[in-house]
Chains A and B, each alone.
Chain A
């Protein structure tokens, strides 16, 4: 084969392979197509899930639950008593909320949520878990050294505040109800929803601004 032909073949080879999906992408494509043929999944359902969780859902639902708890004492009482039933009132049950338990931050308690085994997370409320939540570093250190992890996120917890660490499982998942920021007395539920950050509901944020737009 001449040099010219070698170059041409290499170019064609590159051209062909440049649009070949990565190995994991190929495997997922293979899995999905087989599951669709077996009637176990529907392509539209998968596409809709991906679209919703990539862009739409995020932590907005969880933020609304928190804001409602801040403004409606009766709802807060129901949320603390039975989280699953309370979020059902807002039609948020589903997609891995499992049994939901709300845990409240106070002046003397700070709550932090982790899944030490894998990445269990109430994603119907909070969207897909952030990447750090899924790391081995967070999963192990959140239990061993929660104050150190919180410092890494810029949250310094005074020695007289107790840090409680909750381990999410497939059956039971936690939602941190942060303290309502000072200076927000005049805000309604919708405005308050915009203040609550995703990390505050996991516990890696504690004092957030009364003017921030947390869930965007």
Chain B
């Protein structure tokens, strides 16, 4: 192994003490994926294959080899499988994302964010 390859390994051990979730959404992605497998919306093998493809794409695009990259790939895999199974078409997801964004922007600090607070419901 060359010295540069040895250096490349060092971050692995450093990551050992990291919390498994840096942000709540990362945990929610895995929770939803697990729920979908258990409900039969898609199969475990399809999840594995799609996540593998997204990870490969992220690596090919030069993304950092980090937890953030992993969880973003997992989110894309989840979105893709849900669109493919017609459970959540991409257009529906985009419209709802925009509605939530507007709801956050229109809700004063301290108040619960509700979709009804959106300036205009996109869906």
Tell me the A residues contacting B by CB distance below 8 Å.
Answer: 15-17, 19-22, 24-35, 38, 40-41, 45-46, 49-50, 53-54, 95-96, 98, 115, 117-120, 127-132, 134-138, 141, 145, 148-149, 152-154, 169-171, 199
Residues of chain B touching chain A, judged by Cβ–Cβ distance below 8 Å, are 1, 5-6, 8-13, 15-16, 18, 20-21, 23-25, 27-32, 34-39, 41, 43-45, 47-49, 51-52, 55, 59, 65-67, 70-72, 75, 78-79, 82, 87-88, 92-93, 96-97, 99-101, 104-105, 109, 115
A135 touches B75 (CB 8 A): no
Other contacts beyond A49-B30, A115-B48, A137-B8: 10, CB < 8 A: A16-B105, A27-B93, A35-B82, A41-B35, A45-B35, A98-B44, A119-B70, A135-B15, A138-B12, A149-B12
Please, how many angstroms separate the alpha-carbon atoms of A115 and B97 in the complex? 32
Q: Is the beta-carbon distance between B88 and A35 smaller than 8 angstroms?
A: yes
Enumerate chain A residues within 8 angstroms of B43, measured Cβ to Cβ: 170
Q: Is the interface of A mostly helix, strand, loop or mixed?
A: helix
Identify B29's interface contact among A28, A134, A148, A153, CB under 8 A: A28
